[in-house]
Amino acid sequence: MLTINTEQQHYDRLKEVKQFDDSKVGVKDLVDSGLTSIPRFFHHPPETLPAQPTTTSAPRTIPVVDLSESRSTVIEQIRRASSTRGFFQIINHGFPQGSLDHIIAAMKDFNEQPTEIKAKYYHRELGSGAAFSSNFHLYHSKAASWRDTFQIRLAPNPPNQDSVPEVCRAAMPEWNREIGRLGEELMGLLSEGLGLITDRLKELSCLDVRVITSHYYPYCHQPDLTIGISSHTNPGVLTVLLHNQINGLQVKYSENDWVDVEPVSGALVINIGDILQIISNDECRSVEHRVLANPHLEARVSIAVLCNPGIRENLYGPLPELMSPEKPAVYHQFTLTDFMGRFFTKELDGKTLTNYYKL
């Protein structure tokens, strides 16, 4: 049985972290073990934890875009949301409600299986099939976050079905097919909103690599000491997110002002990634967001599909069509190998990779 020291004296953080990781239990199993206080390596410095909400008279909502509206209306709404908030929700997106319910249930069921079943998939080799772990940045961060994560690469080379947990297996093909369809539609709408030809982002392979990242946020009885996921921006081009009706996701509006992303039944949350901000030469914004530690007895389940370019040896940077003497390039070029390598070896600390590549 995993035993973690929660006392202040004789504290060896690396030893505790490694003991937790080697146990392959995840945060959910810590909750089930009956811990009365969360382990110290989950404690975040007080100055990094969410403060009380700021009162403001400005609108503090995430735009909701109805994809059944006219194309010109949808393009303008997405353009405006992408250039200001970096986040929007979409409805009437064509996903059957049954498909949304199925994938949420599958991911919830996986996390609520016995430890010995989940442990078979516990590893940190993100490129090989299905991977279950807690905190992919566990060894890079100053404090761990209260969540477990399950990842599967959907495209271009989906894993062998035998390597996918049985409770998730049936939901994956339909989810991958629907995400591919919706992703192509969104890339076209974003391209047109930027004044580009419809297939421009598709031509850059921006939809070729798709990874499903499902976070499970179990009940936390000390939510004032930790967080579900620290403030960060997503590294790729675009993220499509589905979550159950448990609050927790927040988007940064200004230095000390955060807004809740209120669940909308049947909606998907879309957010801009760092790569799209760079190749759009700052026409689109990748915005910091976080998830609070879950104070509810019911788990919060989220399923994000991260869409990334697939040609690793290409140079990526501001598109020539979006540069001019009046608006020169804001960033220098980079390879995808360099970009993703930097992301996976740094802490989730709110600082975006866009700062690193800025001229």
Instruction: Kindly report, residue by residue over 208-243, the tens digit of the pLDDT.
Output: 999 999 999 999 999 999 999 999 999 899 999 999
CATH code assigned to 13-356 = 2.60.120.330
85 has a pLDDT exceeding 80: yes
Sketch the domain layout of the chain as residue ranges: 13-356
**Would you place residue 59 in the very low, low, confident or very high pLDDT band (cuts 50, 70, 90)?**
low
pLDDT digits (tens, 9 = 90+) for 115-135: 999 999 998 876 667 899 999
| Contact in structure between 220 and 297 (CB atoms under 8 Å) | no
Tokens of 181: 């369809």
Give the pLDDT mean for 32-50. 91
How confident is the model at residue 2, as a pLDDT?
55
Give the pLDDT mean for 290-295. 96
Tokens of 336: 């995808």
* Cβ atoms within 10 Å, residue 5: 15
Report which listed range, 157-161, 301-305, 337-341, is most confident: 301-305
Q: What's the pTM value of the predicted model, to 2 decimals?
A: 0.91
How confident is the model at residue 6, as a pLDDT?
47
| Contact in structure between 135 and 141 (CB atoms under 8 Å) | yes
Q: What share of the chain is helix, strand, coil (3-state, %, to 5)?
A: 30, 20, 50
Q: Please choose, from the candidates 32, 31, 30, the residue with its C-alpha nearest in 3D space to the C-alpha of residue 20.
A: 30
Give the pLDDT mean for 282-298. 96
How confident is the model at residue 125, as a pLDDT?
77
From first CA to last CA, the distance across the chain in angstroms is 51
Give the pLDDT mean for 269-275. 96
